Chain A
Amino acid sequence: MSDKSNKYGYVGVDIPAQSFGNNKGVFNPAEINDLVANNQWTSFGQLELIETQEITSTVATFSLDNLKENIYNVHFVTITNWLPSNDDRHIGLRFKTGGVTDSATNYQYAMARNNAGASDVRSANDTKIWLAYNVGLTRENLNGYFYIYNAGDSSKYTFVTSQNLHFGVGIDSNFQSAVYDTTNVVNGMEFFASGENMTNGIFSVYGIRYS
């Protein structure tokens, strides 16, 4: 169907379809705002904040359910001031497919722990990815980030690299590579503690355009 409405500087002619990387016409500010809102405006290299969610009460699990995985190949996730409800708990990550958390043995991880008393952690057939070990309580918050690769690609595994820092048994930093070794499309993620609950944490997920 042709569109002969008057916009983008065109009058009485078919208006070109607009899309990222393919904007044609002369645009006024309102039209640009509309195109940005519809993800049709060309702006290379944006780090788009997709969503931020905060733990505001004691919960057993916490989810991010909006990844825009059909748009972005690489995602960037930040974790700020995560705390478990009980001392010395790990923070776990599972992915969601079709909105359902996958807790099957579809995960591998390899975490180097940079603590004088800590040993490295690895597993080649697990039900989750541990993002950090033995996180403490009072002002021992975990802060860090991870990247997700291929979440929306139904022909690829979903990979992760991460770095996190917290207090536990002294200062403890770690870095990690991990994989969710199925070709399921990932459309969400779930966080949890190794025991009991979680009381704090701010989680933000960003999309890295054209990565």
Chain B
Amino acid sequence: MAGQLIQVATTTVTSAVASVTLTGIDSDDVYMLAFNQVIGSSGNNNLEMRVTESGTPNTTSNYDWAVKKLDATTTFANQSVTNLDHFYLNIQVGNDPADFEENEGIVYIYNANNSSEYTFISQETVYLNPFTAGLNGGQGGGVFTSASAVNGVNLFFSSGNIASGTFTLYKVL
């Protein structure tokens, strides 16, 4: 485990926005994204992420993703997809602060700045299931299957806006 985090970019959403973009990846170090108290403007929704190149989200179908879905109320499930146009961070999340339905998590980003390698992520997330109120989470990762220089990430919900939350990108040294 590395010894120091250097903040690269941070955004705290206090009024609704369609997405949040954090840029500043400019070295071959590992980067870490922390997201805290993130909630959407509509429920039964997915929190998703794309990488950015020169500040622009890449929307091509070059995202492969696999996680173990953790659930305090039922059997865990493997979830995986290929050739999406985004990564999932959490699937089917709620949006009611009164029911504590915020999204929390950490994403590590590897090889982003290296234009000759794919960009990999590992993720660990947690939230409350809006249907059962049970504890849910996911651990796993994904790969952006394009050898290009990635300089940031773009966060958004599958529909609606980001109502609130803090997103912070760190360089790991």
Contact = CB atoms under 8 A, between A and B. Distances in A.
Interface of A: 44-47, 73-74, 78, 108-112, 120, 122-124, 145, 147, 149-150, 153, 156-157, 159-163, 175-179, 181, 183, 208-211
27 contacts: A44-B7, A46-B4, A47-B3, A47-B4, A73-B37, A108-B72, A110-B70, A110-B72, A110-B76, A122-B73, A123-B72, A124-B135, A145-B1, A149-B104, A149-B126, A156-B100, A157-B100, A157-B128, A159-B104, A161-B124, A161-B125, A162-B124, A177-B70, A177-B137, A178-B126, A179-B135, A208-B34
Contacts of A163: 124, 139
Instruction: Identify the interface centre among A46, A145, A161: most chain B CB within 10 Å of its CB.
Output: A161
The A interface is mostly helix, strand or loop, or mixed, namely: strand
Contacts of B70: 110-112, 122, 175-177
Given A45-B7, A124-B134, A160-B126, A149 B36 contact: yes
Contacts of A149: 36-37, 104, 126
B5 A45 contact: yes
A109 B104 CA distance: 15
A73 B72 contact: no
The B interface is mostly helix, strand or loop, or mixed, namely: strand
B37 A156 contact: yes
Contacts of B171: 45
B104 A150 contact: yes
A176 B124 CA distance: 8
Contacts of B142: none
Given A156-B100, A211-B168, A150 B37 contact: yes
B36 A74 contact: yes
B68 A112 contact: yes
A113 B126 CA distance: 17
Query: How big is chain B's contact interface, by range?
Result: 35 or more
A161 B126 contact: yes
A160 B126 CA distance: 7
A73 B34 CA distance: 10
Contacts of A160: 126
Given A161-B139, A208-B34, A210-B10, A177 B4 contact: no
A178 B125 CA distance: 10
B84 interface: no
Nearest to A110: B70
B40 interface: no
Interface in B128-142: 128, 134-139
Interface string B112-156: 000000000000111110000011111100000000000000000
Given A44-B6, A74-B36, A156-B37, A147 B166 contact: no
Instruction: Identify the interface centre among B70, B106, B135, B136: most chain A CB within 10 Å of its CB.
Output: B135
A120 B76 contact: yes
Nearest to A114: B68
A110 B135 contact: yes
Contacts of B7: 44-45, 209-210
B94 interface: no
Contacts of A45: 5-8, 170-171
Contacts of B137: 110, 161, 176-178
